[in-house]
A and B are shown apart, each in its own frame.
Chain A
Amino acid sequence: MLKVDDVAFSYDGKKKVFENISFSLKQGEVLCILGPNGSGKSTLLRCLNSLLTLNNGNISLNGKDMTRMSRKELAAQLGFLPQIHVSTFPFSVLEVAVMGRAPHLGLAESPSEKDYALAKENLELLGISPLADKPYTQISGGERQLALIAMVLTQKPRILLLDEPTSHLDFGNQIRMLELIKKLSTKGFSIVLTTHFPDHAFHLSSTVAIINKGTFMAAGPADTVITEENLKRIYGIDVQIAYVNSSKICVPAKK
């Protein structure tokens, strides 16, 4: 449903952030993008959401060129979770969740009881119903991320773009987030996420793409892409891939 064809982007028109990137995403598929700091993961995700304009190549959604779609049309297909989000005003978690209805409401419309019911359903799904009336500014980072996911789900998109969804979470919440991503993919959402943890790609047993020096260095199933050689190439450290209870984990090698 999402097809990315030979895209390139540059902020200043000279130095390319990335180029020659192509991939496609099927329904229910999870694509995990790995790469060192500053490799352009977030920039790529922002391009996928049309927040930045490509210098080359094109992206199509269900066969339709994305540059020809309005923001409203895009929002009906794509949900975006930013890396960090702060709000100036203490909207309640429910008020934040119901904002996801924006692409489905007219310019002069406010959310109805039905829209609030849908938002509450998603709070329930994510297990944060007790937070509904809590101010968004006074909950923890993990809870805030869940509130934003509730908003994105209320938006009812088909593709989720998650920018480092695990980066500000404690260990337990990271695993819960991964389980949630798995659950959402079985519900039919296609998901693109960026992460700093190769283990998370193993955990999701997803498709993995490694972005390094401005292009996809490798792409394919986690088991073939996440290798000791590849990890050394992108992170510059020796890594050993070990098995614990038949699942793979990455450990820094002893010198």
Chain B
Amino acid sequence: MHWNYKTTLIVLLCVLIAIFFASISVGRYVISIDSVLKILFFGDRSDSTATLVIFNVRLPRVIAALTVGASLAVTGAAFQGLFKNPLVSSYQLGVSSGAGFGAALAITLAGSTLMIQGYAFFFGIIAVLASFAMSRIYKGSSTLTLILSGIIVGSFFSALVSLMQYIADPRDTLPSIVFWLMGSLASIRVSSLLPTVIVIVAGITVLMLVRWRINILAMGEDEARSLGINLRVLVSLVVACCTIVTASAVCISGVIGWVGLVIPHIGRMLVGPDYKKLLPVSLLIGASYLLVIDDIARTLISGELPLGILTALVGTPFFGYLLWKAKAGWS
């Protein structure tokens, strides 16, 4: 029925490593895998162009792609369990709309890349806090109210994004906002990548530690409480980690849809719904997937294709296929 967990992990890890090196190799300036390995591991500096391309362009970008992919897949899977709903994604609590508004605001203010990332991160967190606060007002901790609050806050920030687009200068600011919202890794800078990756790794580590308990959240609120779970603490912890991870990912990549929704389903097809296995498997698939998508984005045409367009073009038919086969792991 399902694949053996350990075998799956090893296979997926090998696939990720292979894609990782291949991704460093491909691009407009092709570097052979052989040279990639020599430059990365044996300190070969004879080809100065290749060295420069690898360390300044490819490596940061490849690390960003796999980190963002892993982030969206893990947080999407965690939210699906938390909300007991296989149709939610990492963006359920409005983090992407909030971040979109932050970025649009920073672009309108003619901010630097760093400022755009900072604003995106900040407003992404603000949006989730607003959703969380709103669900608390309608007393009780029901995750259903949290979903609804997320939709409300998300729509509010989407409206603000539209407003920013409406008032933006159509010659330069508007296109920048639109491109940001479509998602891209073209503007990755080494300096801002490192702190982002550290935050993401920290958040994912906490989620990994508590991952078995997401099973119990997925069984229902009364069931979880009967099993001795302090619901408020665990839900807040999972939401906080997911938010920090997703906001960090979005602030460097823009809005990339369909990863957090689709990847967990592929994970469930492989190893079943148990989060003890599902979360690590989703992480590996998500990382590989976004690496491949980003490779396509920067090699398919002479310019750059926005990632959000590609993930949607690949994700939607695949999701349709999952529905058709109806064995994606929910009832």
> What residues of B have a CB within 8 angstroms of the CB of A88 in the complex?
84-86, 218, 330-331
Q: How large is the interface on A (under 10, 10 to 19, 20 to 34, 35 or more residues)?
A: 35 or more
A46 to B273, CA, bound (A): 28
Interface string of A48-77 (1 = CB under 8 A from B): 010100000000000000000011111110
Determine whether the beta carbon of B218 is less than 8 Å from that of A89.
Answer: yes
A72 to B226, CA, bound (A): 9
Q: Determine whether B212 belongs to the interface, using a CB cutoff of 8 Å to chain A.
A: yes
> What residues of A have a CB within 8 angstroms of the CB of B213 in the complex?
102, 107
Instruction: State how many angstroms separate the Cβ of B278 from the closest Cβ of chain A.
Output: 9
Instruction: State how many angstroms separate the Cβ of B291 from the closest Cβ of chain A.
Output: 28
> What residues of B have a CB within 8 angstroms of the CB of A78 in the complex?
226
Closest to B85 in A: A88
Closest to A103 in B: B228
Instruction: State how many angstroms separate the Cβ of B267 from the closest Cβ of chain A.
Output: 12
A97 to B224, CA, bound (A): 13
Determine whether the beta carbon of A85 is less than 8 Å from that of B220.
Answer: yes
Determine whether the beta carbon of B226 is less than 8 Å from that of A79.
Answer: yes
Enumerate A98-117 residues with CB–CB distance to B below 8 Å: 99-100, 102-103, 105, 107-111
Q: Determine whether A188 belongs to the interface, using a CB cutoff of 8 Å to chain B.
A: no
Indicate the member of B226, B231, B268 with the most A CB atoms within 10 Å. Answer: B226
Q: Determine whether A18 belongs to the interface, using a CB cutoff of 8 Å to chain B.
A: no
> What residues of A have a CB within 8 angstroms of the CB of B27 in the complex?
none
Q: Determine whether B222 belongs to the interface, using a CB cutoff of 8 Å to chain A.
A: yes
A88 to B223, CA, bound (A): 13
> What residues of B have a CB within 8 angstroms of the CB of A10 in the complex?
none
Indicate the member of A79, A91, A92 with the most B CB atoms within 10 Å. Answer: A91
Q: A99-B216, A107-B210, A108-B210 are in contact. Are A137 and B226 (CB under 8 A)?
A: no
14 A-B pairs within 8 Å (CB atoms) are namely A74-B228, A82-B222, A85-B220, A85-B223, A88-B84, A88-B85, A91-B273, A96-B219, A102-B227, A102-B228, A102-B229, A103-B227, A107-B209, A138-B331
A155 to B1, CA, bound (A): 28
A203 to B81, CA, bound (A): 41
Q: Determine whether A80 belongs to the interface, using a CB cutoff of 8 Å to chain B.
A: yes
Selected from B84, B228, B276, B330, the residue in CB contact (under 8 A) with A71 is: B228
Determine whether the beta carbon of A71 is less than 8 Å from that of B216.
Answer: no
5 smallest beta-carbon distances between A and B, as pairs: A75-B228, A103-B228, A89-B273, A108-B209, A80-B226
Determine whether the beta carbon of A75 is less than 8 Å from that of B329.
Answer: no
Q: Determine whether B215 belongs to the interface, using a CB cutoff of 8 Å to chain A.
A: yes
Q: Determine whether A87 belongs to the interface, using a CB cutoff of 8 Å to chain B.
A: yes
Selected from A87, A92, A155, the residue in CB contact (under 8 A) with B227 is: A155
Selected from B85, B86, B215, B331, the residue in CB contact (under 8 A) with A95 is: B215
Q: How large is the interface on B (under 10, 10 to 19, 20 to 34, 35 or more residues)?
A: 20 to 34
Instruction: State how many angstroms separate the Cβ of B319 from the closest Cβ of chain A.
Output: 17
> What residues of A have a CB within 8 angstroms of the CB of B81 in the complex?
89
Q: A74-B228, A89-B86 are in contact. Are A51 and B222 (CB under 8 A)?
A: yes
Instruction: State how many angstroms separate the Cβ of B187 from the closest Cβ of chain A.
Output: 37
Which residues of A approach B to under 8 Å, CB–CB? 46, 49, 51, 70-76, 78-80, 82, 85, 87-92, 95-96, 99-100, 102-103, 105, 107-111, 133, 137-138, 151, 155
Instruction: State how many angstroms separate the Cβ of A156 from the closest Cβ of chain B.
Output: 11
Q: Determine whether B38 belongs to the interface, using a CB cutoff of 8 Å to chain A.
A: no
> What residues of B have a CB within 8 angstroms of the CB of A103 in the complex?
227-228
> What residues of A have a CB within 8 angstroms of the CB of B84 in the complex?
88-89
Could you list 10 further interchain pairs (A-B, Cβ under 8 angstroms) beyond the known A88-B218, A89-B330?
A80-B226, A87-B219, A90-B330, A90-B331, A91-B219, A91-B273, A92-B274, A102-B227, A107-B213, A107-B234
A76 to B228, CA, bound (A): 8
Interface string of B266-306 (1 = CB under 8 A from A): 00100011101000000000000000000000000000000
Determine whether the beta carbon of A90 is less than 8 Å from that of B272.
Answer: yes
Q: Determine whether B230 belongs to the interface, using a CB cutoff of 8 Å to chain A.
A: yes
A193 to B225, CA, bound (A): 19
Closest to B278 in A: A89
> What residues of A have a CB within 8 angstroms of the CB of B231 in the complex?
71
Indicate the member of B86, B227, B230 with the most A CB atoms within 10 Å. Answer: B227
Q: A85-B220, A107-B210 are in contact. Are A72 and B86 (CB under 8 A)?
A: no
Indicate the member of A78, A87, A89, A107 with the most B CB atoms within 10 Å. Answer: A89
Q: A51-B222, A89-B81 are in contact. Are A70 and B216 (CB under 8 A)?
A: no
Q: A88-B85, A90-B331 are in contact. Are A49 and B216 (CB under 8 A)?
A: no
> What residues of A have a CB within 8 angstroms of the CB of B209 in the complex?
107-108
Indicate the member of B220, B228, B234 with the most A CB atoms within 10 Å. Answer: B228
> What residues of A have a CB within 8 angstroms of the CB of B212 in the complex?
105, 109-111
Determine whether the beta carbon of B218 is less than 8 Å from that of A87.
Answer: yes
Determine whether the beta carbon of A71 is less than 8 Å from that of B273.
Answer: no
> What residues of B have a CB within 8 angstroms of the CB of A96 in the complex?
219
